[in-house]
Amino acid sequence: MFADAPFYVGYRDADIEPEDIESTQLIGGRFFEWALGRDGILRQFAHLLGWQLAEPIREYDVLVTSGNEPLFYVPPDDQVWVAYIHHTNRRQSDQIAEVASSRFRPLKLLLYYAMRVAYDHNTHKPDRFVVNSEIVKRRVVRYWGVPEEKVAVVYPPVATEEYSPDDESTGDYYLTLSRLDWHKDIDGIVRAFNESGHRLVVAGDGPEREKLESIADDNVEFDGYVSEKRKRELLAGAKAFVFNGRDEDFGIAPVEALAAGTPLLGVEEGMTQYQVVSGKNGYHHSRSGAPRSIVDSVTTFESQGVSWSPDRIANFADRFSVEAFHERMREVVTQTVDETDVEPDWYADLT
């Protein structure tokens, strides 16, 4: 969208950088390079120190950042700053209850408190926060204390135009596709399909795969990591897409499924609950009732289907397109620049 603007990153990994991206690393020096090459606290510490000055970006009139690490930056007072936020340090905010069963509960609670305190003074410097859903806006207001009027919602750019109901004819399987990690709760989906007996394809890889394969019956297939071409075919060919991620900030894969004209069977929480229009493009299930609730959702879908056609479902997904993202981001940046004009009202009359 800002094709002529320079692109800076705190930490650059050339091995995973796309060919059409040219970036410049902001944080340098022997210690920082060593720390950034590690994970966890060391990398976070390097970001905390390295982003504060970030000298190369101080000369620009307008700055657009992505992610939480740039919030350590201390800008000059005449620079307009729009900060796009994807989440609010979830283990220290909305997912803090996960620490309840932790072996080191007191230490983790103390660490999370310290992290909240460290972040608190960083959440007031940007002129405008942009978030990827109304759910995240609620969290930014609640956990970071940012005034609601300072937060704009701009959905992430999903390449909806790359998916179509025509990519594949509908088959005899259900699909779930994501990184196989604990917070996606794929095990609930697998147990539900063990019970229902319907064919389920699980696409994606991650640390939970071995465990999931060990509990799956013969009607559950694991495709592992799939290419973009194969993903399009799987999404368009599925009877329905099943999604069970915990309080999802936004959820890209469910939108890709909808863009392929495939109904969505999604958990009634997070942003997923609003991507499902019950009876029209899919059905809800509850986490508290899983896996039985997922089985009931599948049974309802099998007997009643959905009222929207595949093309209508695909059109619904266009509100999350790349084009919609570009248009909304331009609006937000332009509005923020206009609102941050500090010239006194009387000055124009004298010049």
- At 268 the pLDDT is 96
- At 91 the pLDDT is 76
- At 196 the pLDDT is 96
Give 159's strand partners.
none
- At 99 the pLDDT is 80
**pLDDT per 10-residue tile (average), the chain, 351 residues:** 89 86 89 87 88 93 95 94 92 79 85 81 91 96 94 97 95 97 94 97 97 97 96 97 95 97 97 97 93 97 97 97 97 95 87 78
- At 70 the pLDDT is 94
Which two tokens mark 192?
């539900």
- At 326 the pLDDT is 96
One-letter identity of residue 313: I
DSSP 153: E
Helix axes 252-259, 228-237, angle to 10 degrees: 70
- At 207 the pLDDT is 96
User: Domain residues of the chain, as ranges?
Assistant: 7-57, 79-151+321-342, 160-319
Of the candidate CATH numbers 3.40.190.10, 3.40.50.280, 2.160.10.10, 3.40.50.2000, the domain formed by 160-319 belongs to 3.40.50.2000
Which two tokens mark 24?
């410049």
**Residue whose pair of structure tokens reads 């944080």 in the numeric block:** 27
Helices (H) and strands (E) in the chain, counts: 12, 12
- At 20 the pLDDT is 85
CA distances 200 to 107, 171, 174, 191, 258, Å, are 41, 11, 5, 11, 18
- At 135 the pLDDT is 95
**Coil, helix or strand for 269?**
coil
CB atoms within 10 A of CB 109: 15
Among residues 58, 7, 51, 5, the alpha carbon closest in space to that of 28 is found at 51
Question: Is the bond into 207 cis (omega within 30 degrees of 0)?
Answer: no
One-letter identity of residue 280: K
- At 223 the pLDDT is 96
Report the run of H or E that residue 128 belongs to, with start and end: strand 128-131
- At 181 the pLDDT is 94
Question: Is residue 76 within 8 Å of residue 58, measured between CB atoms?
Answer: yes
- At 328 the pLDDT is 97
- At 2 the pLDDT is 85
